[in-house]
Amino acid sequence: MRRDVFQAIADPTRRAILVLIASQAMTPNALADHFDMTRQAVSKHLRILTECELVKPDPSGREIYYHLDATRMKLIDQWLSQFKSMWENRFSELDNLLSTMKSTEK
């Protein structure tokens, strides 16, 4: 069974890995330095992120550098966008309520 991006980002460690490699490609050893876990545990998270196509491995000599593949992040953005208008409407309603409450205090 193939995993999807939502399973990948459900884990806080995998989200942290995505944040770290968003700015620069990193090796599993370099990533492991940022966590209280073994390189093998980091590699397991990287395997899941790779299966979900959120990261891409780039072999360079004896090392493998992982970098973010932001195109798959669009799926998350598209899913979240359906809630954006709802949140904006609720914030507008809250602003209106606060404005009303503030004007009645005076």
Q: How far is CA 82 from CA 1, 33, 78, in A?
A: 27, 37, 7
Which pLDDT tens digit goes with each residue over 3-12? 789 989 999 9
Strands 63-68 vs 55-60: parallel, antiparallel or unpaired: antiparallel
pTM above 0.85, yes or no: no
Domain residue spans of the chain: 5-105
Q: What is the CATH number of domain 5-105?
A: 1.10.10.10
Please state, in angstroms and rounded to a whole number, the distance separating the CA atoms of residues 12 and 80: 18
Alpha-helical segments (H) within the chain: 5-9, 12-23, 28-32, 39-51, 73-105
- Does residue 94 surpass a pLDDT of 80? yes
**Rg over CA atoms, the chain:** 20
Which pLDDT tens digit goes with each residue over 24-77? 999 999 999 999 999 999 999 999 999 999 999 999 999 999 999 988 888 888
